[in-house]
């Protein structure tokens, strides 16, 4: 889910644009649409909207619109109340408010979008997709709805539909940084590294004032890591970590990983000077230290167990790759105390022990 608070400013713009739609052409979040897009979507009024037969109106357990305070005060007021309930993570009450809003105006895009957000929060993705599609049908220039639909399709494994939704967003909002970032993130997830790089470049070029947000910086770092561009990865990941005040474990860990990999590559080159060897070893030590610090952040603030486990696997694997097998085995044993049921860690420990025995002539 895109997050109600994060897009609050964009929603304010939607309200202003919709209020002016009767006297002006539709606009994207930040720019006028291209002339071809404007002519293709010259009306912001859906030909369908929410109908009584829609699964959004007939699902089991649907709340009564009367549950929404001020739900009878018109579609804008009811939508505002729905947004407030979403911020409080109360999807059922939010749904009641959006349904109340749609009783007054069945094709109100923001209420349809909010209804989609409420269903995402309640893990009803099929209904969320229906709501987002109706929002786009009601207002083709609705960039957030296109991005949200793309994220939903990506999560459901439909990579083609997801990319189509994201590309629809950037087509109508070619200078929208969030739209390009969403496309880049998706392309990276399906292994399209070069296209992901291009999308992130467009996102960076579209940031107002050139100040990239934490997520964009981290995304650029992930693309650089996928392309094995270790220096670029270190730079972007370190910037993301710094901008987050050092509290972004993912960025801190990736920054350390890329620096350690850069150091390993430098130290293992066939032709190298003693100074280059020393520089490489310093990078390895610095990177591994930052990775370990990020792992400690996981221990201090438990969150996603699988993510924390994956970091420990990566850390131990990198120790092995940098010719620090004993340290790698110690790291795996330490990790297994935190994640005793991890099959990945147990398999890694068995592999490391077998390599050590083989080199010692015991196998």
pLDDT in tens, 37-74: 333 333 333 457 999 999 999 999 999 988 998 888 89
Of residues 351 and 33, which shows the higher confidence score? 351
Residue 23 pLDDT class (50, 70, 90 cuts)? very low
At residue 70, the pLDDT reads 82
At residue 42, the pLDDT reads 32
At residue 25, the pLDDT reads 32
At residue 323, the pLDDT reads 87
At residue 301, the pLDDT reads 64
At residue 361, the pLDDT reads 76
Residue 270 pLDDT class (50, 70, 90 cuts)? confident
At residue 208, the pLDDT reads 85
pLDDT in tens, 255-269: 999 999 999 988 777
**What is d(CA 4, CA 189) in angstroms, rounded to the nearest whole number?**
24
**What is d(CA 311, CA 353) in angstroms, rounded to the nearest whole number?**
20
**What is d(CA 202, CA 92) in angstroms, rounded to the nearest whole number?**
38
At residue 44, the pLDDT reads 33
At residue 94, the pLDDT reads 97
**What is d(CA 236, CA 187) in angstroms, rounded to the nearest whole number?**
18
For the ranges 46-55, 172-181, 218-227, the lowest mean pLDDT is seen at 46-55
Tell me what the mean pLDDT of segment 280-306 comes to: 85
Which H, E and C letters describe 234-302, residue by residue?
HHHHHHHHHHCCCCCHHHHHHHHHHHHHHHHHHHCCCCCCHHHHHHHHHHHHHHHHHHHHHHHHHHHCC
Of residues 145 and 1, which shows the higher confidence score? 145
Tell me what the mean pLDDT of segment 189-200 comes to: 97
Q: Does residue 305 surpass a pLDDT of 90?
A: no
Percent of the chain residues past pLDDT 70, beyond the cut: 85
pLDDT in tens, 57-116: 999 999 998 899 888 889 999 999 999 999 999 999 999 999 999 999 999 999 999 999
The ranges assigned to domains in the chain are: 65-141, 302-362
Whole-number Cα distances in Å, 51 to 22, 133, 327:
24, 13, 63
Summarize the chain as % helix, strand, coil (round to 5).
Answer: 70, 0, 30
Residue 2 pLDDT class (50, 70, 90 cuts)? low
**What is d(CA 5, CA 353) in angstroms, rounded to the nearest whole number?**
49
Residue 4 pLDDT class (50, 70, 90 cuts)? very low
Whether the Cβ atoms of residue 318 and residue 291 lie closer than 8 Å to each other:
yes
Q: Does residue 317 surpass a pLDDT of 80?
A: yes
What is the CATH code of the structural domain delimited by 65-141?
Answer: 1.25.40.10
Residue 304 pLDDT class (50, 70, 90 cuts)? low
**What is d(CA 172, CA 306) in angstroms, rounded to the nearest whole number?**
37
**What is d(CA 350, CA 195) in angstroms, rounded to the nearest whole number?**
38
Residue 359 pLDDT class (50, 70, 90 cuts)? confident
| DSSP code of residue 49 | -
Q: What predicted TM-score, i.e. pTM, was given to this entire model?
A: 0.81
At residue 292, the pLDDT reads 94
**What is d(CA 355, CA 16) in angstroms, rounded to the nearest whole number?**
65
At residue 65, the pLDDT reads 85
Range among 7-11, 219-223, 300-304 rated most confident: 219-223
């Amino acid at each position: 889910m895109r997050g109600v608070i994060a897009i609050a400013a964009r929603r304010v713009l939607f309200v202003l644009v919709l209020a002016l739609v009767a006297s002006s052409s539709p606009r994207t979040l930040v720019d006028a649409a291209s002339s071809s897009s404007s002519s293709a979507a010259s009306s912001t009024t859906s030909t369908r909207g929410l109908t009584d037969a829609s699964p959004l109106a007939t699902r089991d357990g649907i709340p009564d619109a009367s549950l929404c305070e001020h739900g009878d005060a018109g579609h804008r007021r009811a939508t505002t109340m729905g947004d407030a309930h979403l911020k409080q993570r109360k999807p059922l009450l939010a749904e009641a408010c959006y349904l109340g809003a749609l009783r007054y105006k069945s094709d109100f895009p923001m209420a349809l979008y909010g209804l989609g957000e409420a269903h995402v929060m309640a893990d009803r993705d099929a209904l969320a997709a229906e709501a987002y599609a109706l929002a786009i049908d009601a207002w083709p220039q609705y960039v957030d709805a296109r991005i949200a639909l793309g994220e939903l399709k990506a999560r459901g494994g439909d990579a083609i539909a997801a990319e189509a939704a994201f590309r629809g967003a950037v087509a109508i909002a070619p200078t929208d940084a969030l739209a390009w970032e969403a496309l880049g993130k998706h392309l990276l997830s399906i292994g399209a590294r070069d296209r992901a790089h291009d999308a992130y470049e467009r996102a960076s070029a579209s940031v107002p004032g050139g100040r990239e947000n934490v997520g964009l910086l981290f995304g650029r770092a992930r693309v650089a890591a996928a392309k094995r561009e270790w220096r670029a990865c270190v730079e972007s990941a370190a910037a993301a970590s710094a901008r987050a005040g050092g509290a972004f474990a993912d960025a801190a860990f990736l920054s350390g990983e890329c620096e350690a990999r850069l150091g390993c590559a430098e130290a293992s080159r066939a032709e190298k000077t003693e100074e280059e060897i020393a520089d490489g070893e310093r990078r390895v030590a610095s990177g591994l230290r930052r990775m370990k610090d990020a792992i400690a952040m996981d221990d201090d603030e438990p969150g996603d167990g699988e993510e924390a486990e994956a970091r420990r696997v990566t850390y131990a694997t990198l120790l092995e790759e940098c010719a620090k097998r004993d340290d790698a085995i110690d790291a795996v044993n330490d990790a297994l105390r935190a994640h005793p049921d991890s099959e990945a860690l147990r398999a890694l420990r068995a592999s490391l022990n077998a390599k050590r025995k083989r080199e010692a002539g015991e196998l």
